Amino acid sequence: MIECKKLSKKYRSHSALSNLNCIIRENTITGVIGRNGAGKTTFMKLIAGYLKKTSGELRVMEENPFTSLKVSANSIFIDDQMSLPTSLTLRELLNSFARFYPNWNEPLAKELMTYFQLPQKAYVQNLSKGMRSTFHAIIGFAARCPLTIYDEPTTGMDAAVRKDFYRALLKDYLAYPRTILLSSHHLEEIENLLEDVLIIHNQNAFMHLSVSELKESVVAVKGDKAAVSEFTSMHNKLSINEVVPGMAMAIVQVNNYIRRENFPKLTFSNLTANEAFIYLTDSQEGGIDRVFERSELD
């Protein structure tokens, strides 16, 4: 569905995306994950054809999305900045979408409007932030485009509505498989939805793998300080702390499969996908704790 080779986007002297490589398979749910400013939104807007690439190659449905009517007709980009006519009510807006999206499911749109208690005679500019995000999400569900892109779709939603959104997304995907890109600051809420994760870090494709592979790639190891130190020397140490004198705990990105029985002095535990992501993209060893340690030394 999507293929990128050395994809880059610059705004004058500012690089928003740099030499990104990835292939996203058709009919999968892929989480586009990254810290603020990493380049997630730029990446997804390039795929949707909203932005023109600066360099590199980008093919969506085997075409250049910036100039492709095929991509425009078969994709939808959902975010909290969607520009919709302010003179039309929510009901009138929904009626108009059937003209643009050939797979538009009107009964689904009506049922979702009723379930989420959105007033059909209201205007989008008068909705709260959470209700506006919910309305945008309904558009994404009902349009059923082969390529559906959600950029932080739950902005402003409370926890209960977010939970319903994720459940609706999965049910609709199972009923009508398509390629879905989903970015979110709540990886802990969506990891069970995702098949693959594309981590963008420092404007590049840092990692692209399945959720299970992400969780297996980072482990917490605890035990005798010397044994922990020896183990971390063989892998990529992300964090290490002395728990009590002579005992330490480390977070490690492992290079290969670990036979845990070969390390009897150590205790291993797995991290969640969200915890693995945080440690992998932490720019400074030790995280925020190191700030306070250094301040005390000063």
pLDDT tens-place string over residues 29-49: 999 999 888 899 999 999 999
Domain boundary among 169, 202, 235: 202
Number of separate helices (H) and strands (E) present in the chain: 11, 13
First-to-final CA distance of the chain: 53
In this structure, the answer to whether residues 196 and 258 fall within a common structural domain is: no
In the chain, the number of structural domains is 2
189 is a domain residue: yes
- Note the helical H segments in 200-269: 211-217, 225-232
Residue type at 87 in one-letter notation: S
112 is a domain residue: yes
User: Is 198:31 a contact under the CB 8 Å cutoff?
Assistant: yes
* Token couple for 127: 């909705």
208 is a domain residue: no
254 is a domain residue: yes
Domain boundary among 143, 178, 202: 202
Q: What CATH number is associated with residue 62? A: 3.40.50.300
207 is a domain residue: no
284 is a domain residue: yes
282 is a domain residue: yes
195 is a domain residue: yes
In this structure, the answer to whether residues 248 and 193 fall within a common structural domain is: no
Q: Compute CA distances 30 → 20, 21, 159, 201, 226, whole Å.
A: 16, 15, 22, 16, 40
In this structure, the answer to whether residues 147 and 222 fall within a common structural domain is: no
* Token couple for 147: 């390529």
List per-residue pLDDT tens for the chain, 298 residues long: 999 999 999 988 889 999 999 999 999 999 999 988 889 999 999 999 999 999 999 999 999 999 999 999 999 999 988 989 999 999 999 999 988 899 999 999 999 999 999 999 999 999 999 999 999 999 999 999 999 999 999 999 999 999 999 999 999 999 999 999 999 877 888 999 999 999 998 888 888 999 989 988 899 999 989 999 888 888 889 988 888 888 999 999 987 777 777 788 899 998 999 999 999 888 665 556 666 666 666 6
In this structure, the answer to whether residues 139 and 71 fall within a common structural domain is: yes
Q: Which domain holds residue 268?
A: 214-297
In this structure, the answer to whether residues 140 and 254 fall within a common structural domain is: no
Q: What CATH number is associated with residue 244? A: 3.30.70
In this structure, the answer to whether residues 45 and 170 fall within a common structural domain is: yes
By DSSP bridging, strand 55-60 and strand 2-11 are: antiparallel
Domain boundary among 135, 169, 202: 202
Residue in this structure with the two tokens 């044994």, named with its chain if needed:
227
| Single pTM value for the model | 0.88
User: Is 113:120 a contact under the CB 8 Å cutoff?
Assistant: yes
Q: Rounded to an integer, what distance in angstroms lies between the CA atom of residue 236 and that of residue 231?
A: 10
In this structure, the answer to whether residues 96 and 141 fall within a common structural domain is: yes
